[in-house]
Copies of this chain bind each other. A is one copy, B any other.
Amino acid sequence: MIALVAKCFVLPGKEEEFKALAAPLIEASNLEDGCLSYGLFRAKDGAHLAFVERWRDAAALEAHNNSPHFTSIVPRFAALVSKPGEVEFYEEF
């Protein structure tokens, strides 16, 4: 199993726009084969949003990264953030 935390440093005042853009990505990702969970969260200190994801294996994550919903939506987040995201990959231990 793979877990992934993708931190997104969303510009002040742009969180709702980010959330609306993310909604179809979240919906489609949760329907993918091999997606165990996929959601958008806000850090408790409010400093950033993060996608917290769990995938069955690397192949499922790779398919996700090449999916139409990923490749069409993720690039559009760039206009709503103050700097590139930080992604942490984890493998079940």
Residues of B within 8 A of A42 (CB): 90-93
Total identical chains: 2
Question: CA of A88 to CA of B50 in the docked complex: distance in angstroms?
Answer: 11
As a 0/1 sequence over residues 20 to 40 of chain A, the CB contacts with chain B under 8 angstroms (1 = contact) are 000000000000000011011
> Is A5 in the interface zone, CB < 8 Å from B?
yes
Residue from B3, B43, B49 within 8 A of A41 (CB atoms): B3
Known: A52-B3, A52-B54. A40 touches B89 (CB 8 A): no
> B15, A90: Cβ atoms under 8 Å?
no
* Residue of B with least CB distance to A88: B43
Q: Sorted from nearest, which 3 A-B pairs have the closest CB atoms?
A: A41-B90, A44-B89, A42-B93
